[in-house]
Amino acid sequence: MKYSIEIAFEDANDDIKSFFKEEWLSANLIHFGRDISEEINKPLTATVYSDSSPPQLLAAARCFIMGNTLRISQLLVKEEYRGSHGIGSLLLQRLEKLAHKHKWHKIRLSTIHQNVDFYQKNGYGVEATLENDVFQKTWYILSKFVDSE
């Protein structure tokens, strides 16, 4: 049998979307005994705006819910507000409150060395280190358990 392989950066057509929906359900039932589609990969964006008029977007975090874990895929603070303004910490605190409210037990992220101190100051611990990636960077996987009480 011959095969044809294609690569796309999106689910480009209905065939692909249907395939993932059907096969994901089948895999869920086999591995978890239920459909966990609603429990993972939910996108979430948290933002911080200035109170000026008009409001200015100062920071944003792109996250995904995976089971009971909130995974931060990006956290960005506008360059001139990084450091001493506390906006990144404010955004993390808001995500932690949200996680607590929804009973998500953990927040996880990955970052490069320059940002590790920031996350550690906010209570995150290093879980793993991934050395020498394709960009010759070392990545750190950090997490924080969310108080469930």
pLDDT in tens, 87-144: 999 999 999 999 999 888 999 999 998 899 999 999 999 999 999 888 888 999 999 9
pLDDT of 4 above 60:
no
Domains of the chain: 39-145 (3.40.630.30)
DSSP strands (E only) in 23-89: 40-49, 57-66, 69-77
Neighbouring residues of 72: CB distance < 8 A, sequence distance ≥ 6 = 61, 62, 63, 95, 107, 108, 109
Neighbouring residues of 66: CB distance < 8 A, sequence distance ≥ 6 = 39, 40, 41
Give yes or no for a contact between 71 and 119, defined as CB atoms under 8 angstroms apart: no
Give the model's confidence band at 5: pLDDT under 50 very low, under 70 low, under 90 confident, else very high: low
Q: What is the rounded average pLDDT for all residues in the chain?
A: 85
Answer whether 0.85 is exceeded by the pTM. Answer: no
Element containing residue 146 per DSSP (H, E): none
- Quote the pLDDT of residue 13: 73
Averaged over 61-71, what is the pLDDT? 88
